[in-house]
Structure 1
Amino acid sequence: MKQENAIQLFENKKVRTLWDAQKEKWFFSIIDVIGILTESPNARKYWSVLKVRLKKEGSELATNCSQLKMQSSDGKFYKTDVADTEQIFRLIQSIPSPKAEPFKLWLAQIASERLDEMQDPEITIDRALEQYLQLGYSENWINQRLKSIEIRKELTDEWKSRGIKEGQQFATLTDIISKSWSGKTTKEYKLLKGLKKENLRDNMTNTELILNMLAEASTKDISKAVNPETFEDSKEVAKQGGNVANVARKELEAKTGKKVVTELNAKTLLNQKKEIDNN
């Protein structure tokens, strides 16, 4: 069952969601939904009491709800009660809230957008473009970032075709590529930029993004050429792909006298852009 975790926003409040590609359904964190509708300081307790009431009333809503792993505030994934769109609509009916109607409209919009994206994948790219523009990124950076997403997808598709497992094996190969071209693992790279849960690629400069893309594209091309049969073989390919970008990085640094891999992050870069725009 292919699942995709995502954070959706309702009136700037986070709702943890999960898209189940097999069932073609959204699942929503019940605790998050209740927190928004009730503004209760303890949504978990509210849900516990509500479940007891629903069972007494003969409702099967609480019984039929599933538990899926979703990311908590500490960055780890824990099982939490979730409900699909239809169940959330029924849940809303049991909670008196002035936000009930706006939330219903929001749910309908989320469902509609997903169907649109399935019919036309370009819509997903357009929405990502719009979100990055709203955050203040330059169009040049955004074009590079969207291209990096495409290249990353091509690489992970190649890994899957070689039997590489998503999760730890993907992370290991990614670290090898990163270490080979930048001299830092993903964790070390994020530490340099002062990041915690933020996406590393969203905090790269144009040059860093380009070299990271070169490393991943090279890894994919080498893999297709040499056909690695084992995970150990793919680790060697990852080193070779990363080294292609490492050579380019060192040559650029020699020509400019400046380090490519820096502590600059999105916040710093966007502040610099604002200063330039204001002057």
Structure 2
Amino acid sequence: MTNKIAIFKGHRIRRLIYNNEWCFSVIDVCEVLTDSSDAGAYWRKLKQRLKDEGSEVVTFCHGLKLKAPDGKMRETDCSNTEGMLRIIQSIPSPKAEPFKRWLAKVGYERVKEIEDPELAMNQITRRKICKTGHLSTGAMIS
């Protein structure tokens, strides 16, 4: 397992690689996206609410050891990217709204690409041109 710290809007988000994918501290994300004075209590309450509603999002959570502020390794609920995005969707906070809007936009774009695969190909071409300045044929874009 690889431990890393991600910085988001000046806040530290603890993360590590678990089962070959990034997992993030749920409490750290809750702290960033809510005004709760106790992010741990906020997460416990949200997790219970999600369980009561029958949400499967908590199945994406794993108790993993991360370095706590006191320097000790402590078990912390962590989630992979998919689970974290679903958890963020469940947080009723104005700070979470930009993520929710972004997710809705990306989701809408993907649905459109599935309906019309040519849109996906056009998007790939645009990204390649932006990244390299030319198409794979080597022709420069002026």
Interval containing the TM-score (normalised by the shorter chain): 0.5 to 0.7
CA contact under 8 A between 2:47 and 2:58: conserved in structure 1? Answer: yes
Percent identity (aligned): 51
Could you tell me how far 1:67 is from its partner in structure 2?
0.8
Aligned to 1:15: 13
Within 2, Cα distance between the matches of 1:103 and 1:8?
17
CA contact under 8 A between 1:10 and 1:103: conserved in structure 2? Answer: no
The runs of at least 4 aligned residues of structure 1 exceeding 3 Å deviation read 101-106
Q: Normalized per residue, which structure has more helix? A: 1
Counterpart residue type for residue 6 of structure 1: K
Could you tell me how far 1:39 is from its partner in structure 2?
2.3
Question: TM-score, normalised to structure 1's length?
Answer: 0.34
Aligned to 2:123: none
Within 2, Cα distance between the matches of 1:71 and 1:104?
29
Matched, 1:58 2:58: no
Within 1, Cα distance between the matches of 2:92 and 2:17?
27
Within 2, Cα distance between the matches of 1:105 and 1:36?
17
| Correspondent of 1:46 among 39, 42, 56 | 42
Within 1, Cα distance between the matches of 2:37 and 2:2?
28
Matched, 1:85 2:84: no
Deviates more, 1:5-14 or 1:53-62: 53-62
Cα deviation, 1:11-46, whole Å, max 9, x if unaligned, reads 1101001023xx331100000000111121001111
Structure with the greater relative contact order (CA < 8 A, sep ≥ 6): 1 or 2? 2
Question: TM-score, normalised to structure 2's length?
Answer: 0.65
Could you tell me how far 1:48 is from its partner in structure 2?
1.0
Could you tell me how far 1:93 is from its partner in structure 2?
0.9
Within 2, Cα distance between the matches of 1:24 and 1:102?
28
1:1-279 correspondence runs (5 A): 3-20=1-18, 23-103=19-99
Bigger radius of gyration: 1
Aligned to 2:113: none
Counterpart residue type for residue 27 of structure 1: C
Within 2, Cα distance between the matches of 1:104 and 1:9?
19
Aligned to 1:175: none
Q: Which SS does the other structure have where 1:14 is aligned?
A: strand
Could you tell me how far 1:105 is from its partner in structure 2?
9.6
Q: Which SS does the other structure have where 1:73 is aligned?
A: coil
What is the root-mean-square deviation of aligned Cα atoms in Å? 2.0
Within 2, Cα distance between the matches of 1:36 and 1:103?
12
Within 1, Cα distance between the matches of 2:101 and 2:20?
20
Q: Which runs of 5+ in 1 are unaligned?
A: 107-279
Within 1, Cα distance between the matches of 2:45 and 2:17?
28
Number of aligned residues: 102
Are residues 105 and 9 of structure 1, via their aligned partners in 2, closer, same or farther at CA, if it must alter by over 3 Å?
farther
Are residues 59 and 48 of structure 1, via their aligned partners in 2, closer, same or farther at CA, if it must alter by over 3 Å?
same
Are residues 97 and 32 of structure 1, via their aligned partners in 2, closer, same or farther at CA, if it must alter by over 3 Å?
same
Counterpart residue type for residue 9 of structure 1: I
Q: Which SS does the other structure have where 2:32 is aligned?
A: helix
Within 2, Cα distance between the matches of 1:103 and 1:15?
16
